[in-house]
């Protein structure tokens, strides 16, 4: 656990009208930035960034969507295990940011949202991970759902990227003596032949956090973060394709 913390950073943020730096926790249910005092006692709630991953594109894209004036915020990336001491030092430097030595240190730690947003804008539309020709569309039709319906409701593209449908989809399941109609989230999952079948995820009363997620077993801290803040608090590396891992910001 100690080595894992040593390999993680956190984001400090200073708002225009605030005098002190705070640590980013994530976003609340309304998409607003959540912060916490940079005390080591609060470490479990901090948004943690794997030094060997690149989750900041997603974070700053969400941030840009919510805030019309992102320049009112300054972000600094610092080691998670030194957050308390580093915040105190940076707070003092921000009182005189034009002093050359202060400016050098602040520049070293500062993270500017536009750097990641520009990177995202230059990227082409991401390629779909699942080949549509390998999907069992007939199986989907048996549930009363068409490919066009998924496309028109903007559920198809996430599903072709190994995600569950963002929306609940009305489905119909027919047996010899019974017809069941319900709502569920759908996903495509690969079978032994390399093709993709439809997986039905019925509505649940609570998240099933004890189930592995594409080879990832969530720690107690991950589960607590997901329930408390809506995200795992660190970058995970699930295996969507055999032999390949993908860094993700799980929420």
pLDDT at residue 55, as a whole number: 62
Helix (H) or strand (E) holding 91: helix 83-94
Question: Angle, to 10 degrees, between the axis of helix 113-122 and the axis of helix 56-66?
Answer: 100
pLDDT of residue 141: 93
| 112, 173 Cβ separation under 8 angstroms | no
* pTM score above 0.85: no
Q: Are 247 and 236 in contact (CB under 8 A)?
A: yes
pLDDT at 186: 92
> Would you list the DSSP string of 100-167?
HHHHHHHHHHEE-HHHHHHHHHHSPPPPPSS-GGGB-HHHHHHTT--HHHHHHTT-HHHHTTTPPPSS
pLDDT the model gives residue 156 = 92
pLDDT by position in tens, the chain (length 251): 444 445 688 899 998 888 899 999 888 777 788 899 998 888 888 888 776 555 677 778 778 777 767 778 899 999 888 899 999 999 999 999 999 888 999 998 998 887 776 544 444 455 557 889 999 999 999 999 999 999 999 999 988 988 889 888 999 988 878 888 888 899 998 888 888 999 998 877 778 888 888 888 999 988 888 888 777 888 888 887 777 888 877 77
What was the pLDDT predicted at 124?
Answer: 47
Q: 3-state DSSP call for residue 87?
A: helix
- Cβ 137 vs Cβ 147: under 8 Å: yes
Q: What is the pLDDT of residue 1?
A: 42
Q: How far apart are CA 154 and CA 180, in angstroms?
A: 25
Distance CA(106)–CA(89), nearest Å, equals 10
Rounded CA gap, 115 and 122, in Å? 11
Predicted confidence at residue 148, as pLDDT, reads 93
SS3 94: helix
């Amino acid at each position: 656990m100690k080595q894992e913390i040593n390999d993680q950073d956190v984001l400090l943020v200073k708002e225009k009208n605030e005098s002190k730096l705070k640590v980013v926790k994530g976003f609340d249910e309304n998409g607003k930035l959540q912060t916490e005092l940079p005390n080591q006692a609060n470490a479990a709630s901090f948004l943690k960034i794997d030094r060997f991953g690149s989750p900041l594109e997603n974070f700053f894209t969400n941030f840009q969507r919510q805030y019309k004036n992102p320049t009112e915020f300054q972000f600094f990336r610092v080691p998670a295990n030194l957050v308390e001491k580093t915040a105190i030092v940076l707070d003092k430097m921000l009182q005189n940011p034009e002093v050359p030595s202060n400016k050098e240190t602040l520049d070293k730690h500062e993270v500017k949202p536009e750097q990641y947003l520009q990177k995202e804008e230059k990227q082409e539309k991401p390629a779909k991970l699942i080949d549509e020709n390998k999907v069992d569309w007939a199986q989907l039709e048996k549930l009363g759902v068409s490919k066009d319906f998924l496309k028109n409701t903007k559920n198809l593209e996430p599903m072709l990227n190994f995600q569950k449908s963002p929306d609940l989809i009305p489905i119909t399941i027919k047996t010899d003596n019974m017809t069941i109609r319900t709502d569920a989230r759908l996903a495509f999952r690969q079978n032994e032949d390399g093709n993709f079948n439809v997986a039905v995820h019925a509505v649940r009363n609570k998240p099933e956090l004890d189930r592995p997620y594409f080879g990832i077993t969530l720690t107690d801290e991950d589960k607590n973060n997901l329930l408390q803040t809506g995200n795992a608090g660190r970058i995970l590396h699930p295996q969507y394709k055999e032999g390949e891992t993908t860094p993700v910001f799980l929420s």
